[in-house]
């Protein structure tokens, strides 16, 4: 089973919690599946599983990535000025796989699924959800 969720982002860099949307898909279609594969479409976006309780984690993640891949020093910036976004997306990665049991995601109490935007804002970002 495969479907796509679509949403908008509002900042150049942000981390968007998509757990509810993914849970809804798994609840509706995941009873006979064991894995939920998530894939962010776009070379400047990523998927991350991270703590959901402390919102400072999201800020810390972005600050860490800004330190590792700062704006304005990449050869690709000569093309369209987003070399750092490509580096950040590559470091985090475009996909995650979450186990499913009895039609439910097997995330821990403190884990959520986040879409990482590194080149926004965008009117339409997409994540492909494949249930296996």
Number of domains within the chain: 1
Q: Are 88 and 118 contacting, i.e. CB atoms less than 8 angstroms apart? A: yes
* Dihedral sign for Cα atoms in the order 98, 31, 27, 30: positive
Q: Are 38 and 47 contacting, i.e. CB atoms less than 8 angstroms apart? A: yes
Domain ranges, residue 70: 2-131
Q: Are 30 and 100 contacting, i.e. CB atoms less than 8 angstroms apart? A: yes
State pTM to two decimals.
Answer: 0.96
The SS3 assignment for 108 reads: coil
Residue 8 sits in a domain of what CATH number? Answer: 2.60.120.460
What pLDDT was estimated at residue 23?
98
What pLDDT was estimated at residue 123?
98
pLDDT per residue rounded down to tens, the chain (132 residues): 999 999 999 999 999 999 999 999 999 998 999 999 999 999 999 999 999 999 899 999 999 999 999 999 999 989 999 999 999 999 999 999 999 999 999 999 999 999 999 999 999 999 999 999
What pLDDT was estimated at residue 107?
98
What pLDDT was estimated at residue 87?
98
Rg (CA), the chain: 15
């Amino acid at each position: 089973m495969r479907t796509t969720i679509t949403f908008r982002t509002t900042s150049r860099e942000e981390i968007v919690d998509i757990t509810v949307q993914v849970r809804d898909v798994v609840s509706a279609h995941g009873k006979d599946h064991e894995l939920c594969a998530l894939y962010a479409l776009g070379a400047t976006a990523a998927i991350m599983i991270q703590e959901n309780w402390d919102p400072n984690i999201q800020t810390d993640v972005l600050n860490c990535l800004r330190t590792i891949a700062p704006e304005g020093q990449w050869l690709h910036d000569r093309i369209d000025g987003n070399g750092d976004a490509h580096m950040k997306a590559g470091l985090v990665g475009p996909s995650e796989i979450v186990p499913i049991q009895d039609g439910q995601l097997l995330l821990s109490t403190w884990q959520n699924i986040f879409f990482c935007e590194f080149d926004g804002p965008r009117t339409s970002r997409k994540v492909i959800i494949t249930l296996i």
